[in-house]
Amino acid sequence: MPAEPSRTPLRDIDILGVLAATVLILSAIAGNGYGFHRDELQTLDDARHLAAGFVAYPPLTPLLGRLSIAVFGISPWALRLPAALINFVSLVLTGLTARELGGRRLAQCVALLMSLGVGIVFSTMLQYNTPDYLAWALAAFFTARLLRTGDPRNWIGVGAALGIGALSKYSIAFLAISILAGVATLPSRRSALRSRWFWLGALTTLLIASPNLIWLARHQFITLVMEHSIHARDIRWGRTQGYWTDQLKFNMLALPLVLWGIVWLLRSARFRLLAFFFFGPLLLLALVKGRGYYLLPAYIPVNAAAGVALEQWLARRRAVSARRWLPRAATAVVVLALVVDAAALSFRSVQIARPGSAFYLYQARKNTDVADEIGWPEFVASVANAYQTLAPSERDHLAVLAENYGEAGALEIYGPNYGLSLPISEVNSWWDRGFGTPPPENVLVTGGELPGLAAHFDTCRLVGWVQIPYGVKNEESLHHQPIFFCHHLRGTWSQVWAQDRKFG
C-alpha cells in the first residue's frame, strides 16, 4: 500500500519549482534563439486573426501567442514565454502526481527529472505540443488524486484537463478513449460509470471544447481533413517509421526506470487505471502509425510511478542493509543519469550554437527544427530585392503569393518594412482569408515552379533568388530559391483558389 503524501505540499512545490525553473532559465538564455521557427510564423499569423479554430490546429496555442505578444511585443522570446511557463507548470504537476501516488521528496524529484528533457525541448518554441502536454499532466494529476482519495469530484478536474487538451491538440482523444477503456475494463473502477461526477466530468470536457467543436462543424471539419492529408504525407515520406525505436531514444538512460514505473502501475490495485494512460495511447498510436514523439505525454504517470518505485526500493534497502552509503550512491547515480538524459535532449534542440558553427551544423543534422529557425528576415529581404527590380507598372495591383506557411508568415511580419503588401497563400488558414479585393493582376511568387506557373498566367519570368545565410539547408535554400513575377491569371482567381487549396 503506497504511503499517503506528506502534509506539507507547499514545501514539495518549492523544491519542484526550483528544479522546474530550469526551463525558465534556459528560455531566458536562449529564448531568442536564431529567430522564429516556421511553425511559429504560422502561429503568429493566426494569433493576429483569433478565432475559435484554425485549419492547422485548435485555438489555444494562437491565443497564448496573442496574449504574450500583446504584452511583450513580437519577438521569439515573447512568443516562447508561454511555452516555458506552461512547461514549468507541467513539470511541477508531474512531481505532484508522484506525491499523489505516495511519493515523498525523492520520488517527486525523480519524476520531474525524468520529464525535464521534454520540458526543455518543448520550451524552445511555441507549438501545440506544449499546452497538450499540460493537459495530459493535469489529467494524470487529477486521476491520481481521484484514485488516492476516492473523491469522485476529481472527475471534474480530469474532464477539464481533457477539454484543455481538445483546445490544444486532437490527439487528446487517444487519452480520453484510454481512460474510458480503463474504467470499463477494470472491475474496481467500473462503478464510475454510474457516478454523476464521471458524467459531469465528461460534460465539462464538452463545455470547454464546445467553441472549437462548433467551429469545426461550421467549417466541415476541415482540420480533420488537413490532419488526414498531413498524416498520409508523413507515412509517404517515412516520418512515421521508427515509432518503437523512438521510445528508446527518448528515454535513453531512464529506460530501466520507465519499465519499473510501468510494472509498479500494473501491480498497484489502487493506481492501475493510470497504466491505461500509457498503454492505451501506445497501442492506438502504433495502430494509426503515429510519430514517435506523439507518445511523450503518456510517460507522465509512468515517470511519477517510477519515482515512487525507486523511493520505496531505497527505503527497503536502508532498512535491511548495514551499508548506509549504498542507497545514497544509488540515488546519486540515478540523478546523474537523468541529468545526462535531459542534457542530451537539450543538446540537440536548445538554440545556443553560433549559426554556421560546427555545433550548429551538428544540431541541424539531428534536428530539422534548428534549420527552420534561420533565414526568415533574409528570405523576405530577397523577395523585397526582387520587388525592386519590377517596373512601376508591374507593381500595381500586385500580390505576393507564398508557397508555404513559413514564407507567408515571414512576409507578413517583415514584409511591411520593405513596403511589401501582406501576402496571400493557399495554405491552411491563409486560404480562408482569400486573395484580396480586387483580385491581383500581378503576382510575385515564392516557392513556385516555372512550368506550373506558366500554365496559369499569361507571362512568368524569374526575377530573383532567395538567399539564406550560414549555408543552412532548409526548404527555402534547397527547393524554393527562385522568385518569379507572373502577370494576368488565366481564368478567375475564385476558380483557381477553389481548386488549389493546400495543407502543410
DSSP string, 150-180: --TTHHHHHHHHHHHHHTT-TTHHHHHHHHH
For 282, the grid coordinates are: 501506445
Domain ranges (residues) in the chain:
9-349, 376-499
What integer pLDDT is reported at residue 3 of this predicted model?
54
pLDDT in tens, 422-436: 999 999 999 999 998
Residue 13 has pLDDT above 90, yes or no: no
- Beta 442-446 vs 482-489: how paired, if at all? antiparallel
- The cell numbers describing 253, all together, are 538512460
Q: What is the pLDDT of residue 364?
A: 82
Task: Examine the pLDDT at 402 and tell me if it is beyond 80.
Answer: yes
Q: What percent of the chain has pLDDT over 70?
A: 97
349 CB-near residues (< 8 Å, 6+ apart): 120, 121, 124, 363, 367, 369, 370
- Beta strand pairing call for 398-402 and 442-446: parallel
Task: Calculate mean pLDDT across residues 307-313.
Answer: 96
Residue 424: its H or E element: strand 424-425
Q: Which residue has the cell 502536454?
A: 133
Quick check: bond before 438 cis, omega within 30?
Answer: yes
Q: In whole angstroms, give the CA distance from residue 115 to residue 432.
A: 38
Query: What percentage of the chain reaches a pLDDT higher than 90?
Result: 76
Summary mean pLDDT of the chain: 92
- CA-to-CA distance for 460 and 444, rounded, in angstroms? 10
Contact 46, 54 (CB under 8 A): yes
17-59 pLDDT, tens digit per residue, is 988 998 888 887 776 668 999 999 999 999 999 999 999 999 9
Length of the chain: 504
Given a contact cutoff of 8 angstroms between Cβ atoms, the answer to whether 444 and 463 are in contact is: yes
Q: Kind and range of the H or E element at 460?
A: strand 457-465
Question: Which residue, among 188, 178, 26, has the nearest Cα to 116 in the 3D structure?
Answer: 26
d(CA 42, CA 502): 14
